[in-house]
Structure 1
Amino acid sequence: MAITKKTFGQINGHDITRYTLTNDKGFQVSCLDYGCIITEILAPDRDGLLENVVLGFDTWEEYGSNPHYFGAVVGRFAGRIQEGAFTIEGTDYQLAKNSDGQHLHGGPGGFHAAVWKTKMIETENESIVEFTHFSPDGEEGFPGNLTMTVRYIVKNDENQLTISYFANSDKTTLLNVTNHSYFNLSGDFKRTIVDHQLTIPSGHYAELNSDMLPTGKLVPVEEDPLFDFRKGRTIREGTDSKHPQIELVGGGYDHPFLLDKEVRPVIVLKDEESGRSLQVETTEPAVVLYTANHIGGPYSFKGVAAQNQLGLCLETQGMPDSIHHPHFPSAILKAEEAFESRTVYRFV
């Protein structure tokens, strides 16, 4: 096991540091103290060849403002909040409207744009980078002085990354965090993800309106087969369709799926050609599937031109805009209560 670090760039006089966690099998996770961004994950294919399986850049300058949140931890609230407004315990709050009149992913100054304090922890069986960020009362409009801790954990004997989240606030607030990595199991982005096969143990997805907000309707997937991933299906089956919900979000998926409680929630992503498989286990109630419908542009990832569907996000989190839908799992964090969440990404 090993953790190494080196300077990756600089912002506002602060050095940006890149940390790399490597186990004895060569499995490797690299991340930054800026936004907890995961820049690279090296995972083996069926023949043991280690290649990168997440979208990321080689230089700090290429990240720029990171408008697509590549690899970052997002919060205080992942997803959208209608008009950036909500009420808790009789008090009204107004957040930044940073996405067509809605609040998105914690606002422009959210967790993804913070330089986090870091600590490296090495044990006999694990390498850990621990990130800590203090978000003061009123930051981006959210109530409460919030202390957030994120741990990236790599085990010596398993090709897996565990992300653990811990938080507390001195006022009742909203908290809904996730990691926004874009996975592509082909290895070094040889192909898009449209032929990846995905399994999600979910009987319901959230219908979206034209503002990309949940309408409140949880649609049974047996009534909408293109959203039924319970037995596995390729992404292409959806991206090639004219389904109004798929066309609404740009020719793919950008939808929350409520995970079934009756079974252990294991999400499985497979690329048959490389032989790579990713298993995702989480304590969160939902996952947002985003198939990178809008990331095409005049830039590249490690020499590969950016294009739509070059990766997909599996954002394990609470439901977007849950504060306005009482039948959704709550994202309210009570004052002085402890928040804990964990997601495991296992490559097999």
Structure 2
Amino acid sequence: MIDRRLTFLKKRDYRMITAQAFGKIDQDRIITLYRLKNTHHIEIEILTYGGIVHSIKTPDRNGQIGEITIGYDTLEQYRNHNQYFGALIGRYANRIKDAGFVLDNKEYRISKNHGNHHLHGGTSGFDQKIWNAGIINKNGLECLELRYHSLDGEEGFPGNLDTQVIYSLTDRDELIIDYRAVTDKKTHVNLTSHIYFNLTGDSQKSILDHELTINAAAFTEIDQDCIPTGKMIKVEDTPFDFRQPCAIGKRIGHDHNQLIFGRGYDHNYVLNADGRPDIPAAGVYDPFSGRRMELFATQPGLQFYSGNTLDEKQAGKNKAPIHVRHGFCLEAQHFPDSPNRAG
């Protein structure tokens, strides 16, 4: 299934996939960087460590190429500072309350890494795994395929799980991330990609002037631990209404309790498209650079995170500091804590 399609609406010639070493783990396990290019000078770099989308470079309105993701320079930084920059998330993206669930009348306890709760796959999720990689041909297009075998009981989840993720960069300026997972036992799976975007092309500029649209009439309410309460809130007449384009920063400082709990936007939107990949789930426009992005998804939910807890003490790419709200995420997903929610 096509789970996520990002379209960068800027045209500008070449297409190929190349590979080079990015670093080593334990002296002998080489981490490879794969570079995908299309004929419009869009360039995407992906690591076999964590399936991390390390870089996306696209032209602005003047044809100047710029980096539009937030991340690190080195493998060591990705391993030592876990902000999930660009990473594949699994087995289960987002939060599971009290790090447990009941499945077929059996209780499973999974790893706690977010207070008493489970977040983004646990203490050693898919974002920290070394993925097997290969270049495949899909409908005449060279694509990067990543595979990982997760053992029964990993992080507490039942069943062996074989996961395949295919990254495709088309000449329509689409990055397509196609997820598949097969298990030998009934289990829960919720895969996503945790790319932090900054469409200005300058990580030292805020994302608060980015104009965001989300095709959703409701979002899932959270408590003070960012755990869903089970209630859905209509976006109408709230700071969460992005049905029409609105600057991210316009209402982020409102005293709405949901913004206080999330320290900004960190909420799951209930998509109107309901898994239809032909209807945009979200769109973002940066008036500074003229870059525009659309997101299409087959999932029912979309987590919008406005980079509220980025750590300014950390150095990002080119040793530049990583500032709060200088990156945003749009994560297609099943609803948070859905293993504990009926329906």
Q: TM-score, normalised by structure 2?
A: 0.91
Q: How many Å separate the matches in 2 of 1:190 and 1:48?
A: 20
Question: 1:74: which partner in 2?
Answer: 89
Residue number in structure 2 paired with 1:306: 322
Alignment match, 1:229: 242
Question: Aligned partners of 1:17, 1:246: CA distance in 2, in Å?
Answer: 39
Runs of 4+ in 1 over 6 A off after TM superposition: none
| Partner in structure 1 of residue 260 of structure 2 | 247
Q: d(CA) in 2 for partners of 1:123 and 1:103?
A: 35
CA distance in 1, matches of 2:17, 2:81: 25
CA drift of 1:124 comes to: 8.4
Distance 1:216 1:49 in 2: 45
Task: Quote the residue 1:321 is aligned against.
Answer: 337
Q: Which residue of 2 aligns with 1:53?
A: 68
**Paired amino acid for 1:133:** Y
Deviates more, 1:310-319 or 1:57-66: 57-66
Verify: 1:129 aligned to 2:183, yes or no: no
Say whether the 8 Å CA contact 2:102–2:340 is kept in structure 1.
Answer: no
Q: Which residue of 2 aligns with 1:261?
A: 273
Write out per-residue CA displacement over residues 235-261 of structure 1, whole angstroms, 9 at most, x where no aligned residue. Answer: 1123222221112122x1000001003
For 1:237, give the aligned amino acid.
K
Root mean square deviation, CA, Å:
1.5
1:107 CA displacement? 0.7
- Cα deviation digits, residues 165-195 of structure 1 (max 9, x gap): 0111000000001000001000032411011
1:179 matched to which residue of 2?
193
Does the aligned pair in 2 maintain the 1:238–1:246 contact within 8 Å? no
- Structure 2 runs not aligned, ≥5 long: 1-14
Q: Secondary structure at the match of 1:182?
A: coil
Distance across 2 between alignment mates of 1:29 and 1:120: 14
Which residue identity lines up with residue 259 of structure 2 in the other structure?
Answer: I
2:101 matches 1:86:
yes
Give the distance between the partners of 1:79 and 1:123, measured in 2 at CA: 30
Structure 2 counterpart of 1:288, which letter? Q
Alignment of 1:144-293 (within 5 A): 144-155=159-170, 157-222=171-236, 224-250=237-263, 252-261=264-273, 264-293=279-308
Any idea what SS the aligned residue of 1:183 has? coil
Counterpart amino acid of 1:59? T
Quote how far apart the aligned CAs of 1:159 are: 1.6
> Secondary structure of the residue that 1:246 maps to in structure 2?
helix
Give the Cα–Cα distance (whole angstroms) in 2 for the partners of residues 97 and 85 of structure 1: 9
Pick closer, same or farther for the CA change 1:127–1:238 going to 2, 3 Å.
Answer: farther
Match of 1:100 in 2: 115
**Take 1:93 and 1:266, find their aligned partners in 2: how far apart are those partners?**
33
Preserved contact between residue 292 and residue 308 of structure 1 (Cα < 8 Å) = yes
Aligned pair count reads: 324
In 2, Cα distance between equivalents of 1:235 and 1:32: 30
Equivalent residue number for residue 5 of structure 2: none
Determine the C-alpha separation between the residues in 2 that align with 1:129 and 1:22: 12
